[in-house]
Structure 1
């Protein structure tokens, strides 16, 4: 999708969409877009400049967003502000296979949110950070008005500073831990200074930022198993396969090992670096996806059994028992409470 400059005429299919460059900053906005279809139009605009995702909101008549994008050397900085609670999902269908791998550090600059990625749930408050592998699915839900600042880094660049980013994906880096507060302040400041530029110092500034990210994660996750880069990359390949086939009732550690041409023993060894068995991960992720659909009013017309079976369960009794163990409530009670 081609966006037009704010200083010139707008494209017919995107009348009212503001975009343009002042210095090194590109601004995109929903301002002027018709209310009907605004969220869908924003999906297309955002996807053309960042990643393919799907935005959704409970109030289709209230969705105003602004995205500012700048570049500092190899690092892209983006500031997204939305005036209502919304969700943004990057599902399997949005991901292009063999595309260049990018990592995205999300700073919750305003508001609060819940982020789901790589089997982790991160509850973010202002100043918290979470790392995202854009090559894997993720889901983001805000509680109200919010501002998120994104630091996007190519994989080959990030690995010079953080050799095994895979082990941190989806984990919350709290603002009170180590140097996180300093890193958050630095990211905030840089996102405001991208527009006037850095007068030829972009490369040096990018290095300082990446070094600060490296120190923050090293200090913040000292207790996390490091493992080797190869093992973490292998684990993420397994996670990707599981996420792609989560709905398949025949998905088992044995079928995964066969599909990825790994021995069952090696599969267990690789996955154990995260402290969770493959079978436990599969079950937990299926339950989490069932719970997410049960909280969504759009799925009101579907029975609990339909939802469970669509995510690979083949026994209603087994699903109910596992769901109660995971969430502390029977599926029917959980759904009723969540929707109420």
Structure 2
């Protein structure tokens, strides 16, 4: 079950604080601080955050200094509900109008400018939730999404309905609903990349193939660097270098994906009859004490706490 917070009408200082608390640290400014009205409705379902930000004229910036001080690689998908704005990232800019859909990366500087009263739905999730190479997704930031191949006709109404029923994300099926939303976005991005024929490096394509293979074989008892390298006809050294380029290790990536699957089931009422130890064992954690330690280290709360939060 998700965790919901709603702010009322906020003056500018409180709105500025609420924005950074709801997302990642951001610099928020306005040319009209008084009077100013803003508010945020925010629901977190696991690692997926759904928010509606409504406010008067303001500018939001993710600066290089803030990125260095608080690195956190997430993608934010924005659906403009009311008003207009301008998103700038990676030297590109796109105008936001009602119905506009965009994606941006918190690991790189960006700015969002709104010169009038506006309302935006934001879906934020960790970058690893997308089974796509970062450099490929980076070529789609600050561009108009949903136009290629017609998948926008599916994703935009879904996100708009989600924005209109945000309380559902805080309900019993919230975690699954949030994850489905991310999967729909991933399908749309994959389609955008295919239609636009975005070129990715051979190493980026290989990394995508390896991570997809990991997801397809997460329950396998044999999912180590040697078997992964052999399955892709490369050396273990090449495999380790590939993951190092993405700031990860092979074993760390596999462990995190298995922990994510455990967390999803602990947060899902459909698995209430399953014990924590049986869920852990299904995903390769035979030692209950070890599982509890690595789970808490990854998510900053115990498996039982995740189950109790629903």
Partner of 1:88: 60
TM score, norm. by length of structure 1? 0.53
Distance 1:112 1:162 in 2: 28
Distance 1:188 1:178 in 2: 16
Partner of 1:170: 142
Distance 1:229 1:204 in 2: 33
Report the secondary structure of 1:169's partner residue: coil
- Per-residue deviation, 1:217: 2.2
- Structure with greater helix share of residues: 2
Distance 2:83 2:168 in 1: 27
Partner of 2:272: none
Q: What is the alpha-carbon root mean square deviation over aligned residues?
A: 2.9
Note the residue ranges of structure 1 that are not aligned, 5 or more in a row. 1-21, 32-37, 233-340
Partner of 1:152: 124
Find 2:21's aligned residue among 48, 60, 63.
48
Kindly indicate whether residue 187 of structure 2 is the aligned counterpart of residue 215 of structure 1.
Answer: yes
The superposition leaves residues 265-300 of structure 1 with CA deviations (integer Å, 9 ceiling, x where unpaired) of xxxxxxxxxxxxxxxxxxxxxxxxxxxxxxxxxxxx
Cα gap change, 1:116/1:197 in structure 2, threshold over 3 Å: closer, same or farther? closer
Report the secondary structure of 2:122's partner residue: strand
Distance 1:143 1:59 in 2: 10
Kindly indicate whether residue 109 of structure 2 is the aligned counterpart of residue 137 of structure 1.
Answer: yes
Distance 1:146 1:67 in 2: 12
Partner of 2:154: 182
Partner of 1:26: 5
Note the residue ranges of structure 2 that are not aligned, 5 or more in a row. 206-310
Cα gap change, 1:112/1:98 in structure 2, threshold over 3 Å: closer, same or farther? closer
Distance 2:133 2:155 in 1: 15
The superposition leaves residues 239-284 of structure 1 with CA deviations (integer Å, 9 ceiling, x where unpaired) of xxxxxxxxxxxxxxxxxxxxxxxxxxxxxxxxxxxxxxxxxxxxxx
Distance 1:176 1:110 in 2: 23
Number of aligned residue pairs: give it. Answer: 204
Distance 1:72 1:49 in 2: 13
Distance 2:114 2:149 in 1: 22
Partner of 1:113: 85
Distance 1:187 1:229 in 2: 33
Partner of 1:103: 75
Distance 2:133 2:204 in 1: 18
TM score, norm. by length of structure 2? 0.58
Distance 2:81 2:126 in 1: 22
Q: Conserved in 2, the CA contact under 8 Å of 1:72 and 1:194?
A: no
Cα gap change, 1:71/1:161 in structure 2, threshold over 3 Å: closer, same or farther? farther
Partner of 1:278: none
The superposition leaves residues 15-67 of structure 1 with CA deviations (integer Å, 9 ceiling, x where unpaired) of xxxxxxx9742012444xxxxxx423322232123222222222221310010
Cα gap change, 1:39/1:26 in structure 2, threshold over 3 Å: closer, same or farther? same
Distance 1:176 1:227 in 2: 18
Report the secondary structure of 1:218's partner residue: helix
Cα gap change, 1:166/1:97 in structure 2, threshold over 3 Å: closer, same or farther? farther
Distance 1:207 1:201 in 2: 10
- Per-residue deviation, 1:68: 0.8
- Per-residue deviation, 1:231: 5.3
Q: Conserved in 2, the CA contact under 8 Å of 1:104 and 1:152?
A: yes
Partner of 1:228: 201
